[in-house]
Amino acid sequence: MPELPEVETVARGVDERVRGERIEDAWFSSKPEPFKTSPAEMAERLPGMRIARVYRVGKHIVFDMAADSLPFVHAPAGVPAGPDVQWIVHLGMTGRLLVAEADTPVPGHTHGVLRLSSGRELRFVDARRFGRMALHVLRDNTSVAGDGAGGTRGAFQGPGAEPLLISAAAFRELFRSRRTSIKAALLNQKLLHGVGNIYADESLYRAGLRPRRMAARLTRAELDRLHEALQRVLREAIALGGSSVSDYVDAAGVRGFFQLEHRVYMRTGKPCLTCGTPIRRLVVAGRGTHYCPKCQR
């Protein structure tokens, strides 16, 4: 569901609301299979930790957690700076992270609840259960020798490159030898992470490129146009709080506004806003794909 702009909006909203809070208690339903960490392990390790900050990597929301009673930025000399553990949340298609007062009704399909020191709760709600949660342990003081979990490792990096940070040259290099459609390549999280179906279609429209064009056959100028269009559309969407197509809401339950700026996504049969030609829909890489047959070549 949520793509980079929606995940960015959620991460910022959650960060504003829960930064500095201590986790008093944690509960997870056992239904959603987390990708790495069991619900029982998350529920055991999170309580007592403090949320140092919340940010986005690709489509993942990263919570930096400090095991101390103080945020890690106040760690004494000699202790390496940085979080001890990161809690990683992926919203899948329908996942939501909501910060709510503890006495407000818990919505259906709630699969995780962190009770916070302020008395509020951070709730993970996901009707379709495609969302995932896991712990990324950087420094483990509790591990038993020989279990392979000790020592240190780097912060969670995500599977690919950041679309908003990548240079035009590195962007071109990603697609140079890809013998697949540019649409499929844009959706491949190991290349760029964070781009999903909406922003793939919208950036291809703004760059004037047909979704089925083979990535490796795009010219340098075309890839530069796509790089520019993608960054522009992602920035505009973040500024408007993301796209609310059906049920996306931010941490306060507020919808985004970028859906009003969609030029092709879910506009099948409607006139192209540039030339008036009806927008067409086809399936590329297994996903509904929307484009203008005249403006995109």
Binding site for DNA (CB under 7 A): 1-3, 6, 35, 58-59, 90, 92-93, 108-109, 127-130, 178-181, 184, 187-189, 193, 196-198, 242-248, 256, 266, 285-288
* Active site (annotated) includes residue 59: yes
Which CB atom, from 168 or from 285, has the smaller least distance to DNA? 285
- Catalytic choice (3, 8, 202, 222): 3
Q: Which residues pair with 99 in a beta bridge?
A: 122
* In the complex, least distance from residue 129 CB atom to DNA, rounded to whole angstroms: 5
115 versus 193: smaller Cβ distance to DNA: 193
What is the number of other CB atoms lying within 10 angstroms of the CB of residue 198? Answer: 26
Cβ neighbourhood burial of 88 (10 Å; 0-12, 13-18, 19+)? buried
CB 109 → DNA: shortest distance, Å? Answer: 6
Task: Single out the catalytic residue among 50, 53, 59, 132.
Answer: 59
Sign of CA dihedral 270, 232, 4, 115: negative
Judge contact between 211 and 185, C-beta under 8 A: no
| Strand order from edge to edge, sheet including 60-66 | 50-57, 60-66, 85-90, 132-137
Q: Is 3 a catalytic residue?
A: yes
Tokens 């909406």 appear where? 198
- Closer to DNA by Cβ: residue 44 or 261: 261
* Residue 31 among the catalytic residues: no
Closer to DNA by CB, 68 or 162: give it. Answer: 162
Whose tokens are 């712990």? That residue is 135
Cβ 214 to DNA shortest distance, Å = 9
User: Shortest Cβ distance from residue 75 to DNA (Å)?
Assistant: 32
**22, 178, 281, 287: which is the annotated catalytic residue?**
287
Least gap, CB of 275 to DNA (angstroms): 23
What lies within 8 Å, CB to CB, of 88 at 6+ separation is 60, 61, 62, 63, 133, 134, 135, 136, 156
* Element at 234 (helix H, strand E): helix 220-239
Distance CA 280, CA 277 (A): 9
Q: Which is nearer to DNA, 179 or 221 (CB)?
A: 179
- Compute CA 105 distance to the chain's CA centroid, rounded to the nearest angstrom: 26
| Minimum gap (Å) between residue 13 Cβ and DNA | 14
Query: Closer CB to DNA, residue 50 or residue 96?
Result: 96
**Active-site residue, selected from the candidate residues 2, 32, 71, 211:** 2
Buried b (16+ CB within 10 A) or exposed e, 55-72: ebbbbbbbbbbbbbeebb
The one-character DSSP state at 47 is: T
Show which residues are catalytic: 2-3, 59, 287
